[in-house]
Chain A
Amino acid sequence: MTDLTTLEAETYQKPRNQWWDVWDQFKTHKGALIGAAFFIFVLIFVFLGPIFWTLDAQYIDIRARSQGPSWAHPMGTDQLGRDTLSRIMVGGQTSLLVGLTAMLLALIVGTLVGVLAGYFKRLDGILMRLTDLFLALPLLPLLLVIIMLFRDTLRAQFGPEKGIFILIVFVIGITSWMQTARIVRGDVLALKEREFVLAARSIGTPPYRMITRHVLPNVLSPIMVSATLGIANAIITESALSFLGLGFPSDFPTWGRLLFDGTDWLQRNPERVIWPGLAISLTVLSVNYIGDGLRDALDPRIRGR
């Protein structure tokens, strides 16, 4: 039937790397492209900005306190005369790092637990009870205990800022993986009964590759969604922790910290709340759009439509 055509013209296309298809689809998603561009802009602004805007975030200029935007201080100053622009930059470094790493940690733990629980029936009971246990834990007392126990050791080990950073990432990651685990487990349970998994078993694919080749790619959508939501959550949780005095020291700027400090001055200097608030919400929004575009791009059924 088709033999003739294939023999005549040997011009068939080589199988092309799947990631090119993904990129082609990603490009067509306008929101995702804008989101990605904005996210890259935020990264450059936050990490390379301090090279060009050399004002120290901790420098106190008491005579220039509580100022509005001016050429000397484009985003104004706080009640101690510290420059808000440089504080936003430096704070963004910490906030983004905390957000990304905590999200990654939660994602890895959640996906691992979910896949193992869903795929291996023997582990299901234990792992899901563990998940329930974590869900039932009261968060604040747990945080207090963890920070009490480990803050000084970590500080001695890695220095005050790195120590706290590791601690906060760990604490946020360890308390936010449960939703992902539950969603992934449910999806894996449903996937496991699909015929293509049976087909892979009839081929003799071992469990490890069964998971990486057949199960994980098909649960990517829920993982993606919880990842994008996770970043936002991590940034907010970090600011809440700092506000309670459990996180970074009070003079150490993060976006959440700046936001909470600004709330006291909402009446007189509303821009002190607006800038970090904008930074957080726009970053989260852009990440959500990127996740949305990626999810569509990774699904061959949506691709090309």
Chain B
Amino acid sequence: MFDTSQRKKLVSVKGLKMYFPIHTGLMRRHTGDVKAVDDVSFDIYEGETLGLVGESGCGKSTCGRAVLRLYDPTAGTIEVDSTDISTMSQGDLRKMRPVMQMVFQDPQASLNPRMSVADIIGEPLREHTRKSKAERLDRIYELMDAVGLNRDFANRYPHEFSGGQRQRIGIARALALNPKFIVCDEPIAALDVSIQAQVVNLLEDLQGELGLTYLFISHDLSMVRHIADRVAVMYLGKVVELAPREGLYADPKHPYTVALLSAVPEPDPAAHDEANRIILQGDVPSPSNPPQGCNFCTRCPRVMDICKQQDPEFREIEPGRFVACHLYNQ
């Protein structure tokens, strides 16, 4: 779709692994790991939106949080703005925080109920700038204007707002320090459809104005199609396909992507009835005990013998299109 080679990489994730240890027994011995994110690599170019989709529990949110070092990753490197942050101490990381911010899924839970809106939006300013109280207030009002909140709301508390307004507060907080990179962790999942559109349009407008780069995590495929430039599909802790939006939606390569896209609701009733849906059998295997070989081999409609033995490599099969599947390895 576009020539990626000339664009600057803002975020570069290589071989990211995030394992949560399982301790069992009387001695709390380390008996296994929940492999929430298992060897994930992707780049995000400046000014683009990378959509990260997948079903519940596939490790999308964990991946997004690990990229911001809200978790300490088990392995892998994360470069943000050409700085390797994967092994940085929390103290050094603090200086990097203004560059990267996060918008959370549940706007109710991500705002401290005891702080007023002005305090919530002003917190990053208090932590990272030496602005005076009046300057800070000016900036807070500026941000409230930018996300479409009435300035009178500065005194109010989160519980007095609707979900959409709360999400706007969360977005204003993320914008406060002029970040370059924002991880949007299912920012619209907790909102109803009309508000979803408002928030997504707000995010798009802000991207245009401020040149932001997003990692947009969602399970809503049509919303990702609307906002993302490139899309990564995750299944059980691994990225199975990474492709430009148009290519992915027009011609999905990985069988999981095909199944996922066939599940998107069809507004036209006639087309809906005829839709050739792929219904996956069985459940997602446990991330603490993934199957041997390809993670998807237990449910794949096009499974082959090799899938049950070897883990497929994540390869570029066409320029800009990466797939991890044995179907494309011959």
Q: Which B residues between 160 and 200 are near A, CB-CB below 8 angstroms?
A: 170, 173
Q: Which B residues between 69 and 121 are near A, CB-CB below 8 angstroms?
A: 70, 93-94, 97-98, 101-102, 104-106, 109-116, 118-119
Q: Which residues in B have their C-beta under 8 angstroms from that of A14?
A: 137
Instruction: Judge if B157 is at the interface, Cβ distance under 8 Å.
Output: yes
Question: How many Å lie between the Cα of A193 and that of B98 in the bound state?
Answer: 23
Q: Which A residues between 8 and 34 are near B, CB-CB below 8 angstroms?
A: 12-16, 18
Contact B145 A196 (CB under 8 A): no
Instruction: Judge if B151 is at the interface, Cβ distance under 8 Å.
Output: yes
Instruction: Judge if A138 is at the interface, Cβ distance under 8 Å.
Output: no
Contact B109 A195 (CB under 8 A): yes
Q: Which residues in B have their C-beta under 8 angstroms from that of A157?
A: none
Q: Chain B: interface residue count, which band?
A: 35 or more
Inter-chain contact count A-B, CB under 8 Å?
95
Q: Would you call the interface of chain A mostly helix, strand, loop, or mixed?
A: helix
- The answer to whether A196 and B154 touch (CB under 8 A), given A2-B148, A15-B116, is no
Instruction: Judge if B273 is at the interface, Cβ distance under 8 Å.
Output: no
- Smallest CB separation, B182 vs chain A (Å): 10
Contact A300 B152 (CB under 8 A): no
Q: Which residues in B have their C-beta under 8 angstroms from that of A196?
A: 109-112
Q: Which residues in A have their C-beta under 8 angstroms from that of B111?
A: 196, 199
Q: Which residues in B have their C-beta under 8 angstroms from that of A12?
A: 141, 150-152, 154
Contact A13 B113 (CB under 8 A): no
Q: Which residues in A have their C-beta under 8 angstroms from that of B157?
A: 300-301, 303
Contact B145 A3 (CB under 8 A): yes
- Smallest CB separation, B297 vs chain A (Å): 34
Most chain A C-beta atoms within 10 Å of own C-beta, residue among B118, B152, B173: B152
- The answer to whether A202 and B148 touch (CB under 8 A), given A196-B109, A300-B113, A301-B157, is no
29 examples of A-B residue contacts, CB within 8 angstroms = A2-B149, A2-B150, A3-B145, A3-B148, A5-B150, A12-B150, A12-B152, A12-B154, A13-B155, A15-B119, A15-B154, A16-B155, A18-B116, A195-B109, A198-B104, A199-B104, A199-B170, A199-B173, A202-B102, A203-B127, A209-B127, A218-B113, A300-B113, A300-B114, A300-B157, A300-B159, A301-B157, A301-B159, A303-B157
The 5 A-B residue pairs with the shortest CB-CB distance, nearest first, are A204-B97, A300-B157, A12-B151, A195-B109, A195-B110
